[in-house]
Amino acid sequence: MKLTVDSRSLFSLALSVAFAVTLPRPAWSQSTEPLLQQSNLAYQGAFRVPQGSSDTTTFDYGGTALTYNPGNKSLYMVGHDWYQLSAEISIPSIVNSTNISSLATATILQTFADSTQGKLNQINPSDPNTKKVGGQLVYNGKLVVAGYSFYDGSGAQSTSHFARPLSLSTTGQVQGPVRIGTQYPGFVSGYMTLVPPEWQSQLGGPALTGNCCLNIISEQSNGPAVSVFDPSKLGVQSPVPATPLVGYPYPHILGPSETSQNQYFNLTTKITGVVFPVGTRSVLFFGRHGTGPYCYGPGTPDQSLAGKPADGGVDVYCYDPADSSKGTHAYPYAYQVWAYDAIDLASVKNGTKLQYQITPYAVWTFHLPFESSDAHLTGGAGYDPQTNSIYLSQRCEDTNCAPIIHVFKVNGTVGTVTTPDPPTNLQVH
């Protein structure tokens, strides 16, 4: 299936390839809510984040684990990748421009601090490798934080979530880490979002938490994953009950294969955010995806070397101007949305389907006004239900590899959605 891009507008989302299985619709009223299409996400503009004076006071090489704080109309976000410190920033005027210098700059509302107060390593204390903050969520006056092991070769991670006061300067009140559900924590240790009130009884809780595409893929979800849970149970129950609603445990892969050229999932896929807009039945996952031929080996910008022996003939060179490291490649990369029907997630919750038996009703790629980085990395997505605004972090695009925050508004008349059969080349293993 060929994806095309409208090059006439940097602000419009690219061509959507939409599909859904036609199912009898449940009787409950939410089943008549609309499915979002790419045209319903209207680009509003962007803003810059403040520059820091040191690696511990900057968003450079960071901009991950984004969440919206309705109390301050602000965003929490993680800074420099090496330090995993959180800060809270304002949301300035949103400017729609192709000139970065024309964008307004946010201000720091709460300076950088370790949101787990030194407890992040406790999610997997026997593992010497890096631990990272995968997601944050403001819920009932607390900040919920999820952490994951960057390279958990032994599959030893056992817990993932923390809860703490919204004030990052408050000490001694971090709860956790605790386990969420019964699956390996890699399925829940990242992005989070609230469930709209009208969907909470059908899905079984007020919030979603998930993750995807981490190292050691045999332990992780091979496609978007979320479970429903109640964040208020953090510090009350351990483990916190959770129900998987979508996820692809190996070998149940979303798409033809994890090493093939396809639009659904391969080993270069990165998913960093999820949003469930109110008044819809669409659950949207945001990330990046390698759209070119899959290759494993050292990356090279020299196309003449592509496919030739490397590392003494053990691997081959992979053409990838965006990434020279040895590993997985599928250049070129694209910003991408995986859109799921909440009715399908409800069918998993009710036991009529397994989590890996549902597929997106649509997948689309999109452009942003600034794309100097060929890696096309996103850092996370936050959502304001009052204004129906989605805040998306675009990593390493501004000065000193700082992120830019882009804003989309869910609007327009969604109308009645037709649901053609899925393409024949899609297989969920």
Place of tokens 């008549």: 32
- pLDDT, tens only, 146-158: 999 999 999 999 9
CB 186 within 8 A of CB 211: yes
CB 205 within 8 A of CB 229: yes
In this structure, what token pair is assigned to residue 94? 């949103």
Tallying the residues shown for the chain, one arrives at: 429
Place of tokens 């192709």: 98
User: Residue 3 above 80 pLDDT?
Assistant: no
Percent composition of the chain: helix, strand, coil (DSSP 3-state, to 5):
10, 35, 50
Q: Taking Cα atoms as reference points, which of 196, 195, 222, 228 lies closest to residue 209?
A: 228
- Report which residue type is found at 360: P
Beta bridge partners of 77: 87
- pLDDT, tens only, 23-81: 455 667 788 899 999 999 999 999 999 999 999 999 999 999 999 999 999 999 999 99
Q: Taking Cα atoms as reference points, which of 275, 242, 265 lies closest to residue 384?
A: 275
pLDDT band at 391 (very low <50, low <70, confident <90, very high): very high
- pLDDT, tens only, 82-126: 999 999 999 999 999 999 999 999 999 999 999 999 999 999 999
CB 157 within 8 A of CB 148: yes
Domain annotation for the chain: domains and CATH numbers: 13-286+341-410 (2.115.10)
**Interatomic CA distance for residues 275 and 193, integer angstroms:** 6
Q: What is the pLDDT of residue 23?
A: 44
**Interatomic CA distance for residues 252 and 264, integer angstroms:** 13
Place of tokens 């036609």: 22
In this structure, what token pair is assigned to residue 144? 């919920």
- pLDDT, tens only, 353-368: 999 999 999 999 999 9
Instruction: Tell me the three-class secondary structure of 26-76, residue by residue.
Output: CCCHHHHCCCCCHHHEEEEEEEECCCCCCHHHCCCCCCEEEEEECCCCEEE
Higher local confidence (pLDDT), 285 or 26: 285
Local structure of 394: helix, strand or coil: strand
